Structure 1
Amino acid sequence: MRLTEQQIRSLYGQDVQDRSGAKIGSVGQVWADAAGEPTWVSVKTGVMGHHESMAPLQSARMQQGKLGLPYDKAMVRGAPSVETGTDEPLDAQQLTQLYAHYQLPPPTPPAPPRQQAAGYPRGPELTRSEERLLVGTESEPAGTARLRKHVVDEDVHTTVPVEHDEVRVEREPIAPGDRRARAGIGDEQQEVRLRAEHPVVSKEQVPVERVRLTRDEVVEDQPVDERLRRERVEADVPQSARPRR
């Protein structure tokens, strides 16, 4: 990826996207080879820590002010890293690890043993610094949910139909000449057995319901308020040395 000096300077802090357009992080530093050609960038991924993942500028593209890399987010975040804010050159071992991670062929002719962080001095300069907010997440216990089963007594009122025998006396006159009736005087006894039902209660245990605990992960936005510091650079230039418009 051949960039102008202005484009290289504009890379710092720009968003970095993977091949699908998902944001990986932002550019932290740019490295150039011995010829001054930018070849590598470090990417601030936003993960808590003091290291930035390295990514090659080969086949990278600038699109709408964002740096697009032809790699997946996971590959970039898992790449060899450097300390945040470092300006140390990349040594031969670091370059070998980077080419192997991204499965890139070593450059021809062979790469020089060290690559310097890109710099383009134009007279005296100051480095302006500012604080960036790094916000991550941390999991912590938030309580325990339990299911408990215990026995309670419940009064049940119901009704059940029961039968019983009742006796009534019926009298039937006998017509004259009825041969089924026989006359006779004397003591005699007849009886009828009576029947009565009464409620009988028993109990049985039956399953009626399954109760379970289900855990759902819910994502919500929580506000984070913090105060950041940044530096301002002011130039005190004599009027006679200022450019004329």
Structure 2
Amino acid sequence: MRLTEQQIRSLYGQDVQDRSGAKIGTVGQVWADAAGEPTWVSVQTGVMGHHESMAPLEAARMQDDGRLRMPYDKATVRSAPAVEAGAEEPLGTDQLAQLYRHYQLSGQGAVRTPEQPPQRMTGAPEVVRSEERLRVGTQSEPAGQARLRKRVVTENVQTTVPVEHDEVSVVHEPIGEADRTAARADIGDEQREMELRAEHPVVSKERVPVERVRLTRDEVVEEQPVNAQVRRELVDADVPERARRDR
């Protein structure tokens, strides 16, 4: 299995699965042959383990999610010859022979001689620079309650209303010659009455609906400033002046 440099870096810490998809462990180290091609990985199979089982990359397959699938069952990989965690010594001839026998490999392919045994890949020195980024969102919370409350108040109302009343005037009309025969000429006391009318204001009350009052809610968007502190890392390279190359 040929891998790019980026894929090789991504192997560290990835899950290793057996041929059925069951997890065996995670990649601890990657080992390369004399040509620099990755040929073996060591698999961490325990949380506190000090030894890592070796597994060949020749027939392994890297999946889309980065996990490494081996064409062996879990027991075969976990019972394989192991190396100490963090070991930096090249694999010896005896170790290679044991691995070839364990996995029943033919030994053909990349050169694996005692003078040029597989060595642990370390890659170029690098650090990962991280920084904090501000993620600003909003959170809804109660901001009070709006109520409609109806209450009764009493107030004075002044207005005017037209009223009528009767007024009496005394009118004297002389009787002409033609009317004297029809008019009575009796002498004596006499009394006549006329009914008089007068209006006065009368107040009554009625209940009349005059308007509807309701609450409406509008969402208003406004910009509010947010001040926060974020941290970021700076990387300083300590390189001798003669070896420095500006980019």
- Alignment TM-score, normalising by the size of structure 2: 0.51
Within-5 A mapping of 1:169-208:
169-178=170-179, 179-208=181-210
What is residue 215 of structure 1 aligned with on the other side? 217
What is residue 235 of structure 2 aligned with on the other side? 233
Q: 1:202: how far off?
A: 0.7
Q: 1:35: how far off?
A: 4.9
Closer, same or farther in 2 for the Cα pair 1:154/1:36, shift >3 Å?
A: farther
Q: 1:37: how far off?
A: 10
When the two chains are superposed, the root-mean-square deviation of aligned CA atoms in Å is 3.5
Query: What secondary structure is seen at the aligned counterpart in 1 of 2:220?
Result: coil
What is residue 154 of structure 1 aligned with on the other side? 155
Q: 1:88: how far off?
A: 5.2
The CA deviation string for residues 113-157 of structure 1, in whole angstroms up to 9 with x for no partner, is 8515xxxx8511111121111222111111111011101112111
What is residue 128 of structure 1 aligned with on the other side? 129
Q: Is residue 89–residue 114 contact of structure 1 (8 Å, CA) maintained in 2?
A: no
Closer, same or farther in 2 for the Cα pair 1:90/1:193, shift >3 Å?
A: farther
What is residue 112 of structure 1 aligned with on the other side? 63
Distance across 1 between alignment mates of 2:204 and 2:214: 30
Within-5 A mapping of 1:1-245:
35-36=3-4, 112=63, 115=66, 123-178=124-179, 179-243=181-245
Letter in 1 for 2:243: A
Greater gyration radius: 2
Provide the aligned length of Structure 1 versus Structure 2: 147
Distance across 1 between alignment mates of 2:144 and 2:173: 86
Distance across 2 between alignment mates of 1:154 and 1:111: 88
Q: Is residue 129–residue 231 contact of structure 1 (8 Å, CA) maintained in 2?
A: yes
Percent identical across equivalent pairs? 62
Closer, same or farther in 2 for the Cα pair 1:133/1:244, shift >3 Å?
A: closer
Distance across 2 between alignment mates of 1:234 and 1:207: 80
The CA deviation string for residues 74-95 of structure 1, in whole angstroms up to 9 with x for no partner, is xxxxxxxxxxxxx7569879xx
Distance across 1 between alignment mates of 2:123 and 2:63: 25
Closer, same or farther in 2 for the Cα pair 1:145/1:156, shift >3 Å?
A: same
User: What are structure 2's unaligned runs of at least 5 residues?
Assistant: 8-12, 23-60, 68-121
Closer, same or farther in 2 for the Cα pair 1:194/1:113, shift >3 Å?
A: closer
Q: 1:242: how far off?
A: 2.3
Distance across 2 between alignment mates of 1:131 and 1:213: 44
Distance across 2 between alignment mates of 1:142 and 1:90: 53
Q: 1:212: how far off?
A: 0.6
Q: Is residue 130–residue 231 contact of structure 1 (8 Å, CA) maintained in 2?
A: yes
What is residue 46 of structure 1 aligned with on the other side? none
Q: 1:171: how far off?
A: 1.0
Distance across 1 between alignment mates of 2:16 and 2:160: 91
What is residue 8 of structure 1 aligned with on the other side? none
Q: Which runs of 4+ in 1 moved over 4 A?
A: 34-39, 87-93
